[in-house]
Structure 1
Amino acid sequence: MQIRFTKMQGAGNDFVVLDETSGPLGLTAAQYRFLADRHFGVGADQILTVRPPTPNAAAEGIDFEYVIHNADGGEVEQCGNGARCFARFVHDKGLTAKDTIRVQTRSGIIAPRLTGDGRVTVDMGRPEFEPAKVPFDAVGLAPVEQGFGQKWPLALDTQAQSATVLIAVASMGNPHAVQLVDNVDTAPVAQTGPLIENHPRFPQRVNAGYLQIVDRAHVRLRVFERGVGETLACGTGACAAVASGIRLGLLDPSVEVETRGGRLTIAWSGQAADSVFMTGPATTVFEGQIDIPDTLL
């Protein structure tokens, strides 16, 4: 099977974007893994698929459906940097003339908006901190109260040695575990990221964030993403980290997030009923077509 694709990136988080507005491609998990493979495929952190809304969703003003597969072939609920690239793609391809679109994802409706400076702002929805809704199994744990948030002790087994890290848990449509570190450059992302991602207290696995606070309006962040590994940026991870920092009383309502791939601006009022807004770049890298083996399992 030969398919056309667009390679895009947002702050270094890179994507293969597929257009299924004219009909489904019917790819398998193995074929998504092939596309994401950096040696044999195109190479990407995630595969983003543009689909038309269902008739019921269209009647409610939804413009598109947005489907996300991680590099391991698994479908996930949300991807913030991908949402910006999604909005840029449908606009540049003439699939819509709107500057603001409403998009259905597995975790709910998002509303990306193209701004005058070429960046894209996304209403990422309300953050969720209730452990059971992240989901996070907090049974038997005593949280450390700080500000109007909590940090939870999480025991890790690292090569027969036990260590405990304090994490703030949050969902931005997908689960995140955020820990404060003194310096992201020396944080043990490669060592503890997989342990946190696959910790049994996270039944759907989790994205592990490492947050360094520079000042109340500036942070540095690294994220070990569920099903991918460390990426150059993670949009939902930036939202979860900033929202957690605000709840802990450490950050202002608008924060510049410095990732290894670029900068994002995250804004949240701190009110539970309000959405988190993310602004950042979305760039087309190249376009092409690729033969996908139909024998992949």
Structure 2
Amino acid sequence: MPQTVAFTKGHGTGNDFVVIPDPDGVLELNDDQVAVLCDRRFGIGADGTLRVIRSAAMERGEDAGTRASAGAAVAAGAEWFMDYRNADGSRAEMCGNGIRVFARYLADTGLAVVDEQPLLIGTRAGVKTVTRSDLGFEADLGTWRVEPDDVLVRARGLGVPRPGLAIDVGNPHIVVALSNADELEALDLTARPQMQPEPPRGANIEFVVPSDPLVREGVGSIRMRVFERGVGETLSCGTGVAAAALAVRHWAGQAAPDRWSVEVPGGTLGVRMLRVRGDLHVLLSGPATLVYSGEVALA
């Protein structure tokens, strides 16, 4: 008999997820089952799954890296761990839209309280802090790293290859600057862009266009489309939005602002840079919506 599991469908600016409660870690979802759940014709349909599991249960995880991340979450006092999987079933380090949906699920089901103090959530990219914000929820993604060497990106509709800036915000990204909105619209992201050299873990690829003017009343503004690793083009990518803002800020130089508004096909997200205990962190804010709940039989 197929196993029946409960789920909730949620999204953050159109970046959608199947949320699966598994507090004690009794489910064993393989890559094919995740892919079927995320299939938009034969399953529920989503860009990925978010398994809601206690960090202590995740310490029995499938690989040493995950077990170490779960152990660090337990040590930091993060009761819950976001086990994020891409639509193809592959495991990913972090998801900026997903963690807001995850926090919304915990709050709405009474599993955690977000209002009184920051909520700590374990991920494969470390423990993240989520708070309420004017846009919905804000997640502290932590520090970031800009790689020294550009990556050449080829994409359908782009004409000629373009250099991309490699930025790691807990997961890898390549950000490509385009000259105008027409170039952004002409992109065909039904096919995966090619990168040279190919990053060892793959990467999400963001294509960005600055607004004119770039900065208004101290806030930078850009538009973006994204091809997500293990998914394809999505309406939004939270960590990609942060990476895109960081890349444009890097290119703009020292006078660039620390607050950004980023427009994606699914809506608008906010990004800001803030010093936390001496280190410069990047924070992502935006809405998180739970759409419906149900039960599904696992293939």
Q: TM-score, normalised by structure 1?
A: 0.84
Q: Confirm or deny that 1:86 pairs with 2:140.
A: no
Q: Tell me what 2:267 maps to.
A: 262
Q: Tell me what 1:28 maps to.
A: 30
Deviation at 1:192, TM superposition (A): 9.1
Alpha-carbon distance between aligned partners in 2 of 1:118 and 1:254, rounded to the nearest angstrom:
14
Q: Confirm or deny that 1:278 pairs with 2:287.
A: no
Alpha-carbon distance between aligned partners in 2 of 1:162 and 1:209, rounded to the nearest angstrom:
17
SS at match of 2:143: coil
Q: Confirm or deny that 1:170 pairs with 2:172.
A: no
**Contact map agreement 2:135 2:285 (CA 8 A) in 1:** no
Distance 1:157-1:220 versus aligned 2 partners, 3 A rule = closer
1:197-238, Cα deviation, whole Å (9 max, x unpaired): x65431111111011110222111111111111100010000
- Aligned AA for 1:5? F
Q: Confirm or deny that 1:219 pairs with 2:222.
A: yes
Alpha-carbon distance between aligned partners in 2 of 1:121 and 1:195, rounded to the nearest angstrom:
30
1:254-280, Cα deviation, whole Å (9 max, x unpaired): 011111101100001599931101110
How many corresponding residue pairs? 271
Q: Tell me what 1:126 maps to.
A: 143
Q: Confirm or deny that 1:17 pairs with 2:19.
A: yes
**Contact map agreement 1:239 1:278 (CA 8 A) in 2:** yes
Q: Confirm or deny that 1:290 pairs with 2:296.
A: yes
SS at match of 1:222: strand
Q: Tell me what 2:76 maps to.
A: 60
**Contact map agreement 1:6 1:284 (CA 8 A) in 2:** yes
1:111 to 120, 124, 129: 129
Deviation at 1:239, TM superposition (A): 0.4
Alpha-carbon distance between aligned partners in 2 of 1:158 and 1:202, rounded to the nearest angstrom:
19
**Contact map agreement 2:137 2:288 (CA 8 A) in 1:** yes
Deviation at 1:186, TM superposition (A): 3.5
Q: Tell me what 2:66 maps to.
A: none
Could you list the runs of 5+ residues in structure 2 that have no partner in the other structure? 60-70
SS at match of 2:193: helix
**Contact map agreement 2:268 2:286 (CA 8 A) in 1:** yes
**Contact map agreement 1:199 1:205 (CA 8 A) in 2:** no
Alpha-carbon distance between aligned partners in 2 of 1:153 and 1:270, rounded to the nearest angstrom:
29
Could you list the runs of 5+ residues in structure 1 that have no partner in the other structure? 132-137, 139-151
* Identity, % of aligned positions: 35
1:8-31, Cα deviation, whole Å (9 max, x unpaired): 010111110011113321111000
**Contact map agreement 2:15 2:47 (CA 8 A) in 1:** yes
Alpha-carbon distance between aligned partners in 2 of 1:265 and 1:239, rounded to the nearest angstrom:
8
Q: Tell me what 2:177 maps to.
A: 180
